Amino acid sequence: MRADAKRNYDRIVEVAREVFREQGYDASLDEVAKRAGVGPGTLYRHFPKRENLLDAIMQSWVDRVTEASEKALAYEGADRELLLRWFEEYVALISLHKGGPAKITSAMGDPTSPILTKCQVLTSANDRVIERLREDGVLRDGVDTVQVCRLVGGIATVADQGDLGAAAVRPLLEIVADGLLR
Amino acid sequence: MRADAKRNYDRIVEVAREVFREQGYDASLDEVAKRAGVGPGTLYRHFPKRENLLDAIMQSWVDRVTEASEKALAYEGADRELLLRWFEEYVALISLHKGGPAKITSAMGDPTSPILTKCQVLTSANDRVIERLREDGVLRDGVDTVQVCRLVGGIATVADQGDLGAAAVRPLLEIVADGLLR
DNA sequence: CACGATACGGAGACCGTCTCCGTTTAGCAA
DNA sequence: TTGCTAAACGGAGACGGTCTCCGTATCGTG
């Protein structure tokens, strides 16, 4: 990659992160290009689809994810509380941008999604928490990771779309947690 | 309303129902106008916002909703099964169109939404079921109708976006139901 | 420094939303 | 039936977003 290309690439990602946080995932890409001081052509060459840009933005995000799951697993307390803490982290992680919960949760079931690999990091982080509970023998029978992601992702999605705060989300997570534990 | 106006109004609603079912809630409105054989101006005069058109489409839907809740309440069996049957009806009702679950669930918390009144029909139908369970003393403490709508709406939303069938949705509903019952 | 590969960026095609306003029509009254 | 007016129509076009094409500029190597 040529030096000027890399400069533009980095700058676009940086600006896009800012713009998406401000305006959500459907912000204008020409706007991103303009703010980054490049032509739309340049942006679309580096990132042919909107998703490719999102993918690039998420590089730093994957680190956070693993970190969060490790933090949750390190918790020395009741299983229910461990699960709830993880759920809250999970919701926070996918809600960093407006529209994130819907985007990420639906990408999980779509093998062609460009952000699939990023989502898999999340699913496997979730899996570690779920496995731990299964080993403790406190998990409902027949539950799999994907189902948990869908349930929590669903809550995060409605919270995102309805501008609900953590206080409104917590009881919903508790209901799901209690449904998952035996 | 003049006769020709009414004719066009009705025709637009009819066509829109068809187009939305085919292409989802973000189908082109000019396309709707074209298929209805009217100019875009006519469409936008009758329905200044996309939501107004959705609202009109939903007139027949509200009848289905009350019917469904009555059917659920008439069920003579275990509370858990009653709740699950209602949940399945609920999901089906809001998933009639692609994008419906997200639209309807987020409209519930938005007092300015033009489809608010339609959603209230749904919330109060849900409320009747929840009240029945509360009277039976099988409901978890501190649960309110809105929370239930959000949980089930969340599941329906991810199912809608991920093209999940009833078979994948059922276990999720069971988990939520068990979390809601004591 | 020269030259080929690489990257840039803007003009513009395309599409959806929505408005403005000149034209048409319904429906009433004489 | 005819004439009139308020109501309704509908299409041209402004606007904004997406994305492409291609002539131009730049990098970095020989």
- Which of B142, B157, B163 is opposite residue A157, by nearest beta carbon? B157
For residue A109, what pLDDT is reported?
Answer: 85
Is B176 within 8 Å of A179 when comparing Cβ atoms?
Answer: yes
Instruction: Find which nucleotide's C1' atom is closest to B3's CA.
Output: C26
For residue A25, what pLDDT is reported?
Answer: 83
Give the integer Cα–Cα distance in Å for B21 and A101: 25
In contact, B46 and B8? CB cutoff 8 Å: yes
DSSP state of B139: B
For residue A92, what pLDDT is reported?
Answer: 97
CATH (one of 1.10.10.60, 3.40.50.300, 3.90.79.10, 3.40.190.10) for A3-57: 1.10.10.60
Give the integer Cα–Cα distance in Å for A53 and A30: 13
For residue B116, what pLDDT is reported?
Answer: 80
For residue A81, what pLDDT is reported?
Answer: 97
For residue A59, what pLDDT is reported?
Answer: 81
Sorted by sequence, the CB contacts under 8 Å of residue A34 that are 6+ apart come out as: none
Give the domain ranges of chain B. 3-57, 59-180
Tokens of A93: 């992680």
**Which residue has the closest alpha carbon to D11 C1'?**
B39
For residue A78, what pLDDT is reported?
Answer: 96
Which positions of strand D lie within 7 Å of protein CB atoms? 7-13, 16-22, 26-28
A114: three-class secondary structure by DSSP: coil
Looking at beta carbons, which residues of chain B come within 8 Å of A167? none
pLDDT along chain A (182 residues), means of 10: 95 95 90 97 96 87 91 95 98 90 89 79 96 96 97 97 95 98 92
**Span A59-180 CATH architecture:** Orthogonal Bundle (1.10)
DSSP state of A25: T
> Could you list the pLDDT tens digit for every one of the 182 residues in chain B?
899 999 999 999 999 999 998 888 889 999 999 999 999 999 999 999 998 998 898 888 888 999 999 999 999 999 999 999 999 999 999 998 888 899 899 889 888 776 788 889 999 999 999 999 999 999 999 999 999 999 999 999 999 999 999 999 999 999 999 999 98
**Cα separation values, B74 from A63, B69, B70, B90, Å:** 52, 9, 6, 16
- Which of B106, B142, B176 is opposite residue A176, by nearest beta carbon? B176
Sorted by sequence, the CB contacts under 8 Å of residue B146 that are 6+ apart come out as: B108, B109, B123
Looking at beta carbons, which residues of chain B come within 8 Å of A158? 105-106, 150, 153-154, 157
Give the integer Cα–Cα distance in Å for A74 and A10: 35
Average pLDDT, chain B: 93
